[in-house]
Amino acid sequence: MDGYLVLRVIGEGSFGRALLVQQENSNQTFAMKEIRLPKSFSGTRNSRKEAVLLAKMKHPNIVAFKESFEAEGHLYIVMEYCDGGDLMQKIKHQKGKLFPEDMILNWFTQMCLGVNHIHKKRVLHRDIKSKNIFLTQNGRVKLGDFGSARLLSSPMAFACTYVGTPYYVPPEIWENMPYNNKSDIWSLGCILYELCTLKHPFQANSWKSLILKICQGSLRPLPSQYSCELQHLIKQMFKRNPSHRPSATTLLSRSSLARLVRQCLPPEIITEYGEQVLEETKNSKHSTPRKKTDSSRIRIALENEATTMQGEEQGRKYSDTDLESIHKNSTKSALRRVNEEKGKLFKFESLCK
């Protein structure tokens, strides 16, 4: 297959398969996603988007793109192989044994760094879940599977269509509102909760009660071994109003995570962004460049990384009356949405098994 030898299948999904491959001329191993291309032009263009968006990303917490090509009705995306499997498998392997808090915070920080990077590039992932978080044996955590990702045309834009996995879908989507960067934050909150409890935050055996639980945001508290700070962090991420949820940058600047950023972010990234900002400062007429300390470099790196998507956050603010009417109509509209989506995208019954 174009210079690659297939070693084994590492994942299967509705798109096709994920394979572990070896490059013939280098003996290096990679993961290769094999996607059946739809017959329609728009379907094919949509499938290609995954490769295009992944290729735009370059960050230690995002699975690295190598190349993509098409052959015999399939699209192949070659990327770095994460030899620690995905986070969902990792959670399952725990068999009920809770993770230590420092391990959770380290993984979570790495996820936030990855999400911060994509948001900076105005990309929404739209399918953040433990199965799409890949691990390496040396402790790296990487955001993968850009199959549902979407590039916003401008910082003010919203994505109006949504594909995702029901457990991780935020209330605004069930209420037919646009998807924005804070919707990814909700899903990230679901993973954080899952890491602390080894369970989904919202579980139900019917669509109706799942949506109700998500829209009401009723959560069981974390096991007592976890700090109040962690509990508070989760509460913030599950704010019903998206604009009240913290952005990835805000999350990373919290004291508990900020101290981990230095460990999780390689020094070259901090230096690279630090130098870039120094350069920008030099070019500015109104400010004199100052030598940056290590910690201010980290802050600069994050700020520079951040897609605050402020326009987007400000572009859609809900008034109290809006929120009230959303609340009243939420179940009705959410269920209408389910009927629209049912059969098309989600196989909820099988997910509940």
Binding site residue list for ATP? 33
Site for ligand ADP contains 81 (CB under 6 A):
yes
Are 216 and 201 in contact by the 8 Å Cβ rule? The answer is no
Residue 313 beta carbon to Mg ion: minimum distance, rounded to whole angstroms = 27
Encoding tokens for residue 105?
Answer: 């915070």
Q: How many CA atoms lie within 13 A of 19 on its CB side?
A: 19
Site for ligand ADP contains 76 (CB under 6 A):
no
Q: Which of 132, 180, 181, 307 binds Mg ion (CB under 5 A)?
A: 132
Which listed range, 11-19, 168-176, 204-212, 267-275, lies at the site for ligand ADP (CB under 6 A)? 11-19
How far is 87 from 149, CA to CA, in rounded Å?
Answer: 19
Nearer to Mg ion (CB atom), residue 110 or residue 132: 132
Q: Which of 145, 172, 175, 305 binds Mg ion (CB under 5 A)?
A: 145
Residue 268 beta carbon to ligand ADP: minimum distance, rounded to whole angstroms = 22
> How many residues in the chain?
353
Number of chain positions touching ligand ADP (CB under 6 A): 19
Residue with tokens 């201010």: 296
DSSP string across 109-167:
HHHHHHHHHHHHTTEE-----GGGEEE-TTS-EEE---TT-EE-SSTT--B------GG
**Binding residues for ligand ADP restricted to 147-206, rule: CB under 6 A:** 147
Q: How far is CA 339 from the centre of its chain?
A: 26
Strands 29-36 and 4-12: unpaired
Which listed range, 124-132, 152-160, 256-264, 337-345, lies at the site for Mg ion (CB under 5 A)? 124-132
Binding mask 243-272 for Mg ion (x = CB under 5 A): ------------------------------
Site for Mg ion contains 34 (CB under 5 A):
no
127 given a catalytic annotation = yes
Q: Which of 61, 68, 116, 132 binds ligand ADP (CB under 6 A)?
A: 132
Residue 97 beta carbon to ligand ADP: minimum distance, rounded to whole angstroms = 21
Q: Which does 274 bind (CB under 5 to 8 A by kind): ligand ADP, Mg ion, none?
A: none
Q: How many CA atoms lie within 13 A of 208 on its CB side?
A: 1
Q: Which does 188 bind (CB under 5 to 8 A by kind): Mg ion, ligand ADP, none?
A: none
Are 255 and 276 in contact by the 8 Å Cβ rule? The answer is no
Nearer to ligand ADP (CB atom), residue 200 or residue 245: 200
Q: Which of 145, 175, 184, 341 binds ligand ADP (CB under 6 A)?
A: 145
Residue 149 beta carbon to ligand ADP: minimum distance, rounded to whole angstroms = 11
Q: Single out the catalytic residue among 86, 127, 145, 184.
A: 127
Nearer to Mg ion (CB atom), residue 144 or residue 246: 144
Residue 171 beta carbon to ligand ADP: minimum distance, rounded to whole angstroms = 23
Are 155 and 119 in contact by the 8 Å Cβ rule? The answer is no
Backbone angles phi, psi at 65, to 5 degrees: -80, 140
Encoding tokens for residue 335?
Answer: 């269920």
How far is 138 from 229, CA to CA, in rounded Å?
Answer: 27
- Three-state DSSP at 74 gives strand
Encoding tokens for residue 241?
Answer: 């109003």
Rounded to 5°, the CA angle 157-240-181 comes to 30
- Three-state DSSP at 352 gives coil
So which residues are the catalytic ones? 127
* Contacting positions for ligand ADP (CB under 6 A): 10-11, 13, 15, 18, 31, 33, 63, 79-82, 86, 131-132, 134, 144-145, 147
- Contact footprint for Mg ion (CB under 5 A): 132, 145
